[in-house]
């Protein structure tokens, strides 16, 4: 009996030792795998995130120039992204995001052997094309000698693969074959905002259309700043990067310089377009959503004045602000092509908003959500002026509802 007890104790002891050893081995394996996962996640964090919401996918466009400076390799694209690009076709990471891939032969056929040129930018040529589905598209081709273009190609594919909004361009396909890299978008028939503001051969935009464009752009940026997780800073808002569809509704284009705000808030070199660059960003090299707010303010003044930033726009604005105190009296800067056909109240409200967007201290600027609210209120006020009877009916209905609720409340108190 005693021998059996000793044997049982020895067996239990051996079992405990083996169990503890297995637990240690399992814990070690778990810790090792977790570390590897964290390393992999940190290197590709920018490509793994998804937006909080999607607000439509009916907008894409051709592209315009971007004036940029060279960005340092340290800041440009992380190692994980570079590894992905090296195995672009092999791994099919982009295809997994739902973006269709087209072959070089498909693009060659769609562009009639690349003979349908419609634009030329710093990135490379842009062609009008028709794909097999019958849809008309714009094909943006990376210049073969452009290293900066390769980085922007990667950025646009990874960002636009997950960002969808009715006021942003949407990527409908890409091509990465025969050392060629192309981005494919739905063709935007009205071209860029810049072409309408500065081309004398094009009919000038009406005041009503300008205000609507301002709101469209603001909504697109609000989605980037508030709806995307992590928030995205566009970093190149300008009139040539705003595209118009057949209904003159605006979409924000060209995300080659865009960055997720959580990745880095400090750049080792200045990126963007002169005339639109936030002075605080230039001095600190730290970019935030407020950099987009400044660029948007310049764009808003462009819509008002019809003058390019590098042609004395902001100097004219500052002179006007000194005499108007930023609130009223902005008529002196209005685009002469409007021939006086604008609403003075709306003008003063938009100009005051734009002036707050370009304040030198970033934290004093409004958010994109604030901007959308102001512009929405301007349009709503315009509608109420056009249909005062509708507003009166709404007020009357509301009064009847209020009286009915009061009567029900009194009845319940009596009971």
Return the closest-CA partner of residue 359 out of 314, 328, 316. 314
Catalytic residue among 216, 236, 245, 335: 236
The DSSP letter of residue 141 is E
Q: Are the beta carbons of 269 and 217 closer than 8 angstroms?
A: no
Tokens read off for 345: 């109240």
Strand partners, 171: 185
Q: Are the beta carbons of 271 and 277 closer than 8 angstroms?
A: no
Tokens read off for 413: 């108190």
Residue 276 CA to residue 291 CA, distance in Å, equals 9
Residue 171 CA to residue 186 CA, distance in Å, equals 8
φ and ψ at 114, to 5 degrees?
Answer: 60, 45
- Three-state DSSP at 235 gives coil
The DSSP letter of residue 226 is I
How are beta strands 180-186 and 136-141 bridged, if at all? antiparallel
- Three-state DSSP at 52 gives coil
Return the closest-CA partner of residue 370 out of 354, 383, 388. 354
How are beta strands 232-233 and 180-186 bridged, if at all? unpaired
Please confirm, yes or no, whether 91 is among the known catalytic residues. Answer: no
**What are the contacts of 326-333 at 24+ separation with CB within 8 A?**
326/352, 326/355, 326/356, 327/352, 330/304, 333/301, 333/304, 333/305
Contacts of 277 (CB under 8 A, 6+ apart): 270, 291, 294, 295
- Three-state DSSP at 142 gives coil
Residue 338 CA to residue 306 CA, distance in Å, equals 9
Tokens read off for 16: 């405990």
State the DSSP H helix or E strand holding residue 119, giving kind and residue range, or none if neither.
Answer: strand 117-120
Question: 246-279: buried (b, 16+ CB within 10 Å) or exposed (e) per residue?
Answer: eebbbbbbbbbbbbbbeeeeebeeebbbebbbbe
Rg (the chain; Cα; Å)? 28
- Three-state DSSP at 173 gives strand
Residues with a catalytic annotation lie at 236
């Amino acid at each position: 009996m005693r021998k059996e007890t000793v044997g049982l104790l020895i067996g239990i002891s051996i079992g405990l030792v083996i169990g503890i050893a297995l637990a240690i081995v399992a814990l070690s394996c778990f810790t090792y795998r977790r570390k590897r996962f964290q390393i992999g996640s940190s290197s590709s964090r920018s490509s793994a995130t998804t937006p909080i919401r999607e607000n439509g996918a009916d907008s894409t466009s051709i592209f315009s120039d971007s004036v940029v400076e060279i960005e340092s390799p340290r800041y440009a694209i992380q190692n994980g992204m570079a590894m992905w690009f090296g195995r672009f076709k092999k791994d099919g990471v982009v295809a997994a995001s739902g973006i269709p891939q087209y072959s070089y032969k498909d693009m060659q056929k769609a562009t009639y052997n690349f003979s349908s040129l419609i634009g030329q930018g710093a990135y490379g040529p842009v062609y009008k094309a028709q794909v097999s589905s019958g849809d008309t598209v714009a094909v943006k081709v990376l210049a073969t000698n452009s290293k900066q273009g390769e980085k922007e190609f990667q950025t646009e594919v990874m960002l636009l693969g997950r960002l969808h909004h009715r006021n942003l361009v949407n990527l409908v396909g890409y091509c990465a074959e025969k050392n060629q890299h192309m981005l494919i978008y739905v063709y935007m028939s009205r071209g860029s905002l810049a072409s309408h503001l500065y081309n004398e051969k094009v009919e000038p935009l009406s005041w009503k259309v300008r205000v609507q464009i301002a709101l469209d752009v603001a909504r697109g940026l609000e989605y980037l700043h508030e709806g995307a997780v992590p928030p995205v800073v566009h970093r190149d808002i300008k009139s040539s990067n705003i595209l118009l569809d057949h209904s003159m509704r605006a979409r924000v284009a060209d995300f080659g310089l865009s960055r997720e705000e959580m990745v880095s808030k400090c750049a080792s070199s200045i990126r963007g377009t002169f005339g639109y660059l936030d002075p605080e960003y230039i001095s600190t090299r730290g970019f935030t959503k407020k950099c987009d707010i400044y660029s948007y303010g310049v764009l808003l003044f462009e819509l008002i004045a019809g003058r390019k930033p590098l042609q004395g726009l902001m100097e004219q604005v500052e002179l006007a602000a000194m005499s108007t105190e930023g609130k009223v009296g902005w008529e002196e800067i209005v685009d002469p092509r409007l021939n006086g056909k604008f609403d003075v109240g709306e003008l003063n409200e938009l100009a005051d908003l734009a002036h707050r967007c370009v304040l030198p201290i970033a934290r004093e600027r409004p958010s994109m959500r604030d901007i959308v609210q102001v512009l929405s209120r301007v349009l709503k006020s315009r509608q109420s002026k056009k249909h005062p009877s509708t507003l009166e009916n709404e007020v009357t209905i509301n009064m009847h509802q209020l009286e009915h609720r009061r009567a029900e409340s009194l009845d319940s108190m009596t009971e």
